[in-house]
Amino acid sequence: MAKRATRGKYHGFVVVEKPAGVTSHDVVGAVRRMTGERRVGHAGTLDPAAVGVLPIAVGLATRTVEYLSESSKSYLAEVTFGVATDSLDGDGTLTDVADASRLTEADVRAALAAFRGDILQVPPMHSAIKIDGRPLYERARQGEHIELDARNVTIHELELTSWKEGVAELFIHCSKGTYVRSLARDLGEALSLPAYMSNLVRTSTGPFSLEDSWRLEELEELIANGYWEDIAAHPDAALWNRPAVVLSHDLASQWRNGSELELDVPESLVRVYDSLGTWIGVGRGLPERHVLKPEKVVTE
């Protein structure tokens, strides 16, 4: 078990069950107020209407939140056929209506096959992607439309979990960068019907699931009563699927000075610890040079 950093009161990841109607930034602000910690961030934005798993990085965990953001994510999404909106979800303005009564469960199941694996996907205009320094959603609200390039994403799993009168519930396990709203739009197009994402629950991000999450009011009470160590995951949890490297006392001293180390380690990101089990950062193995290169050195 890796030891926690000793400097600073709050370090680690807490998982919030984000409610509908608040932004991911709002949740960051709430946790910042609860902890009094300036260094707070989140892993993977959820739209205001969406709910579910939102990992919040506090203190030293902000050093590794970028790696958690790269993790795959899982969702339960509701797709309604016969209706389209400009934002591709329920917050947008109605743009199209059609009779979806002909659509069957078998039709939807058959169409899903084309969306599994590596696919190309065009992001929605109503998104936080920045072009020329401005988020697309700002441009969309001003009536602008920009032709966006398709992006490579991976749908690891895509299953129909329920079907009722033109509304499909889907389980989706996908790579970073996947827009479920775009998936709903594209599935509708494949079935020659307008469609939009009518509900979204994120069920997991990397190693964190709904079972690990806390409502904001629960989290506030737990932190106020001193239970941080019981509810927070260590900052190294962002690299849960990466190899660990343990350094001797001398090598750990060199590491803390930012030096490359002559070591044969895997060609990947690795979690780095000293001989006492204290987490001291993140490195990258360069086997062709027989070197461990520091990416994040933790000295706190």
Distance of CA 204 to the CA centre of its chain: 8
pLDDT of residue 44: 87
CATH number for the segment(s) 73-203: 3.30.2350.10
3-state SS of 192-223 is CCCEEEEEEEEEEECCEEHHHCECHHHHHHHH
For the chain, the average pLDDT equals 91
Closest CA to 268 of 67, 69, 72, 117: 67
Confidence class of residue 95 from pLDDT cuts 50, 70 and 90? very high
For the question of whether the overall pTM of this predicted structure is more than 0.85, the answer is yes
pLDDT of residue 128: 62
Residue 3 above 50 pLDDT? no
Q: Is 107 a catalytic residue?
A: no
| Contact (CB, 8 A) for 200 and 47 | yes
pLDDT of residue 246: 96
65-69, 146-150, 242-246: lowest mean pLDDT where? 146-150
When pLDDT is averaged across residues 286-292 and rounded to a whole number, the result is 94
In the block, residue with structure tokens 């027989």: 290
Between residues 189 and 300, the one the model is more confident about: 189
User: What is the C-alpha to C-alpha distance for residues 83 and 80, in angstroms, rounded to an integer?
Assistant: 7
When pLDDT is averaged across residues 100-121 and rounded to a whole number, the result is 97
Residue 207 above 60 pLDDT? yes
User: What is the C-alpha to C-alpha distance for residues 174 and 117, in angstroms, rounded to an integer?
Assistant: 9
Q: Which amino acid is at 67?
A: Y
User: What is the C-alpha to C-alpha distance for residues 235 and 233, in angstroms, rounded to an integer?
Assistant: 6
> Could you check whether 73-203 and 242-297 share the same CATH topology?
no
CATH class of 242-297: mainly beta
Confidence class of residue 1 from pLDDT cuts 50, 70 and 90? very low
What are the residue boundaries of the structural domains of the chain, listed by start?
Answer: 12-71+207-238, 73-203, 242-297
Residue 5 above 50 pLDDT? no
Provide the 3-class DSSP secondary structure of residue 73: strand
Question: Which candidate in 47, 86, 89, 236 is catalytic?
Answer: 47
Residue 262 above 50 pLDDT? yes
User: What is the C-alpha to C-alpha distance for residues 26 and 24, in angstroms, rounded to an integer?
Assistant: 5
User: What is the C-alpha to C-alpha distance for residues 180 and 67, in angstroms, rounded to an integer?
Assistant: 21
12-71+207-238: in CATH 3.30.2350.10: yes
pLDDT of residue 139: 60
User: What is the C-alpha to C-alpha distance for residues 26 and 160, in angstroms, rounded to an integer?
Assistant: 32
Residue 4 above 80 pLDDT? no
